[in-house]
Chain A
Amino acid sequence: MSIKKHVKVGLSALALSVSMHSVAAEDPIKVGILHSLSGTMAISETVLKDTVEMLIEQQNEKGGVLGRELEAVVVDPASDWPLFAEKARELLAQEEVDVIFGNWTSVSRKSVLPVVEELNGLLFYPVQYEGEESSENVFYTGAAPNQQAIPAVNYLKDEIGVERWVLAGTDYVYPRTTNKILETYLKDQGVADEDIMVNYTPFGHSDWQNIVSDIKSFGSAGKKTAVVSTINGDANVPFYRELGNQGISASDIPVVAFSVGEQELSGIDTGPLVGHLAAWNYFMSVDTDANWDFIDAWIDYKGDDTVVTNDPMEAHYIGFNMYIEAVKKAGTTDVDEVKDAIIGVSVPNLTGGYATMMPNHHITKPVLIGEIQDNGQFSVVWETPSTVAGDAWSDFLPGSRDMIADWRKPMFCGTFNTATGSCGASSGEMAAEAE
């Protein structure tokens, strides 16, 4: 009797869940947003959360995708690297999101990598980074070193005639890897050892007197000198202030920065910085209709006339549109099919061209060099004649020279060694091991 009852209940539950499933097709597409809203990185990451929310809102106004609405699932990893992994797990396992947009620092990405690979999720990562990675489940919409650092150095060398180099950075993985790549590259180009000065400072360094004075005397040796700065976030303000106060102007020793954008400049009085440079793939001042429309939408969304846009925001714009296109192409949000469909997808960027998803999960980007203006904006002084495809494995590091990544079948590998002809451990496994 009671067994029968149980079976009955079980059957009706089954029927219910089946009918639920058919409804689920009309459920919203869940977009996970994994950006710190508190803690030290909140300064950079909150705007990215807002950007994705705005893009979702815009897409829903257009009727969503595949007839389904999009829905944001926001979590706060609080600038805490291990928490990033937990929150990613929460998004994928509990919330069952279809895609994640998130992360800023490389260390947070490395913490999330094993989780995304294990649970087979999709992650769009919007920030310029040091390369040396290509995961099956991650799409890198920010710049790899060959899309930012190398072209910037070429500009200084060829257009400005720089012969002496200061590589200044914050002491962590991105500046160290980038500077290693640049050092090898410069030496390949015939720059002598004594013409390269490398300097690292701790996070949030605020006393730059000695270093700026060193740069000044390094620069008085007769050859044209430039500073290539991978100094991170907060430390930049006192650095630039000290440069201005010690009277180093951009026409004497230009500083080209890879981590200083409109957002960072909005916290400084940029008067003394006019003429210093930054290399990005997007500037807010780029004069295209797509960009002005994006800015206007952003201003309306935030309800503030003075808000700025920046490069990682554009990366999210591109990544988001690529995801939408891929879902349309695949006709489903199934992770494996979207992964297949997205390779080769092209969407317009904000600088008047197109971004294409390459087989190594990096995208094509133009490289722009901008000079800082007194209103905290950049004016573009140079750009690459065409877009540059992101290189996951640098050609200027001994270990990675032979590596390639190609996520098309039959190769389907992010760490293929062309010398040995074999596929190495996945990026997630490597990241897990490093921990």
Chain B
Amino acid sequence: MSIIRRSLTSLLIALACLVSVPAMAQEDPGKALLVNLAEAPSSRVEEAINAIVDSGDERARGWLEAYGNNRLSRIKDTGQVVLVLNNRGRDWEIADPLTGENLGEMSRRKLDRVAINNAIRGKLEGIMAMLDLNAADPDVREASARDMMGKVDAALVAPLEARLEKEESAAVRDRIEAALAIYRVEQGDIEAVEVLAGSLHSRARAALNNAAASDNSQLAEAANKALASIEQKLKLNKAAETLYFGLSMGSVLVLAAIGLAITFGVMGVINMAHGELIMLGAYTTWGVQQLLPGQPGLALLLSIPAGFLVAAIAGIIIERSVIQHLKGRPLETLLATFGISLILQQLVRTVISPQNRTVVTPEWMSGSLVINDALSLTLNRLYVMAFALIVFAALMMIMRRTRLGLDVRAVTQNRAMARSMGIKATKVDILTFALGSGVAGLAGVALSQLTNVGPNLGQNYIIDSFMVVVFGGVGNLWGTLIAGLSLGTINQLLEPWAGAVLAKIIVLVFIILFIQKRPKGLFPQKGRAAEN
């Protein structure tokens, strides 16, 4: 979204500069090109695009990009082609693609979109990548050469070969050669198979697979050999990928469960509204983003303290109003907090909306970190993983090294004794519950980047959270970490062959059996604290 907006603005600035120089009376040739594109029936669109590219107009790239992004429209009455700057709401902001002049807002009812579909968009991507191959920045060239993989057709071969002659960067050369090789393998060229032998790119593999299935036995044999060499590498990458998936799912589980590990594990309160505290954190993220439009990154960072505070305050209210009156009555606590969870859900539905809210992912969190063509780590999950570890480390610090942590441990181990030593048990209760709730809020901030922000968000995590805490051993933060990560990994290992539904069931059965054998979980508490 913001990329589009930025490129549109830069296009407009470029246009404005261009216009100020040749203020000639003649008709702008661009106008005819655009109208031609807008009027072309689907069979002639390619021709119209090529005409724009061949015109050598500096504005061509911007026009094509706008076209690819569905941003070219025609005014129904006048037939004028315009650039749509903002296509949300009832009235759309439009501009003149020739001069860059802002034409103000127009009802969407009066505009007719210049049609595009996936087939054309695919070709357009190839053409634009070709234009980008002339960029000065080698990284841009490499990215566009990678985009060319599998998109090369007869028309692009000659210009690509010409580019290869001039290209200085080895990385870009490799990419272009691979892109050309894919085309040649498709045409039945055996020598080109060699070039693709080590490539992990899925398009290269697709081309080889096709070649392996072809009637030409020599070609098929060469392709099979190349595929065999790829297969080995792929297996390794696949294993690494599964491990990453497992750890990332595990860190989500840890984040969701760690607040519960404090309220349930340390304090012994069965808080069924834990999921809704997570939800509050996620809604806080949405709220902060609403307050800071256009700065999703900053808003996300600010939501970390804000989400913590909101959930912590909600936690204090729940503790003071309900839980403190039900001390030592786990069944009543369970029912009461379950009621609170329903109240909170419906409150969000009534006050905000039953619909999911859009939380924007900042640019630095979207996409993936490319290790090689077969292995890339999705960035949002990488950040969540790091965040989970930081939260965990911070909690350990608090519990081990601060006065609060000492008080909490004292009160949970022996309440009467701690009180007689002068610790205000009630105050410690409030602070502990606030801490656990706040951490749930932090989980919500992180989850807003992975899943829906809606009234049902919390329900999806409450069972998993209890599962992790119980499996890890109640009252043990390390147990929660290990349990979360291992359950995530087991789940992801099972998923490819068992399917998502069965994998979940198997994990549950496993936990039930495990708890039968070791009722206190992975890391049971030892010593005197364990007895009660």
Interface residues, chain A, with chain B CB atoms under 8 Å away: 37-38, 40, 42-43, 46, 160, 171, 199-202, 204-207, 209-211, 213-214, 216-217, 219-223, 234, 237-238, 241-242, 244-247, 250-252, 254, 263, 266-269, 271-272, 274-275, 277, 285, 287, 292, 299, 305-306, 371, 373-377, 379, 381
| Stretch of B19-27, B359-367, B399-407, B517-525 lying at the A interface | B359-367
Tell me whether A371 and B499 are in contact in the complex, defined as CB-CB below 8 angstroms, given that A42-B354, A247-B376, A267-B356 are known contacts.
no
Contact between chains at B118 and A275 (CB < 8 Å): yes
- In the bound complex, residues from chain B placing their C-beta under 8 Å from that of A252 are 202
Known contacts A245-B367, A275-B118, A299-B90; is A238 also within 8 Å of B451 by CB? yes
A237 to chain B, nearest CB (A): 5
Whole-angstrom CA separation of A238 from B118 in the bound complex:
23
Q: Hey, which chain A residues are within 8 Å of B242, CB to CB?
A: 210
* Bound complex: CA A46 to CA B115 (Å): 33
Chain A hits for B238, CB < 8 A: 217
Which of B122, B206, B346, B354 has the most chain A CB within a 10 Å cutoff?
Answer: B354
B166 in the interface (beta carbon within 8 A): no
- Decide if A211 touches B495 in the complex (CB within 8 Å): yes
Q: Chain A's nearest CB lies how many Å from the CB of B472?
A: 19
Asked if A221 and B209 make an inter-chain contact with CB atoms under 8 angstroms apart, the answer reads yes
A-facing residues in B453-504 (Cβ within 8 Å): 453-456, 459-460, 491-492, 495-496, 499-501, 504
Given contacts A43-B356, A373-B70, A374-B70, contact A207 B118 (CB under 8 A): no
Q: Does B7 contact A (CB under 8 A)?
A: no
Closest Cβ of chain A to B457, distance in Å, is 9
Interface of B is mostly: helix
What's the Cα separation between A177 and B161 when bound, in Å? Answer: 51
In contact, A201 and B454 (Cβ under 8 angstroms): no
How far, in whole Å, are A160 and B3 apart by their CA atoms in the complex?
28
Minimum CB–CB distance for B374 against chain A, Å: 9
The complex places the Cα of A247 from the Cα of B376 at a distance, in Å, of: 9
Chain B residues in contact with chain A, CB under 8 A? 1, 3-4, 69-70, 87-90, 109, 112-113, 115-119, 121-122, 125, 202-203, 205-210, 213, 238, 241-242, 245, 248-249, 252, 346, 349, 354-358, 360-361, 366-368, 376, 378-381, 450-456, 459-460, 491-492, 495-496, 499-501, 504
Would A209 and B113 count as touching, CB distance under 8 A? no
Residues in A neighbouring B202, C-beta threshold 8 A: 216-217, 219-220, 252
Which residue of the partner chain, among A201, A271, A381, contacts B1 with CB atoms under 8 Å? A271
Q: Are A237 and B496 in contact (CB under 8 A)?
A: no
Whether A292 and B109, one on each chain, are in contact in the complex, defined by CB atoms closer than 8 angstroms, is yes
- B150 to chain A minimum Cβ distance, whole angstroms, is 8
Q: A246-B378, A379-B115 are in contact. Are A234 and B245 (CB under 8 A)?
A: no
- Partner pick for A251 among B122, B492, B499, CB 8 A cutoff: B122
Whether the Cβ atoms of A267 and B1 lie closer than 8 Å is: no
**A376 to B238, alpha carbons, bound, how many Å?**
34
Rounded to whole Å, the gap between the CB of A192 and the closest CB of chain B is 12
- B499-A267 in contact (CB<8A): no
- Return chain B residues, CB-CB under 8 Å to A241: 361, 380, 450
Residues of B within 8 A of A277 (CB): 118
Known: A209-B492, A251-B121, A287-B112. A42 touches B87 (CB 8 A): no
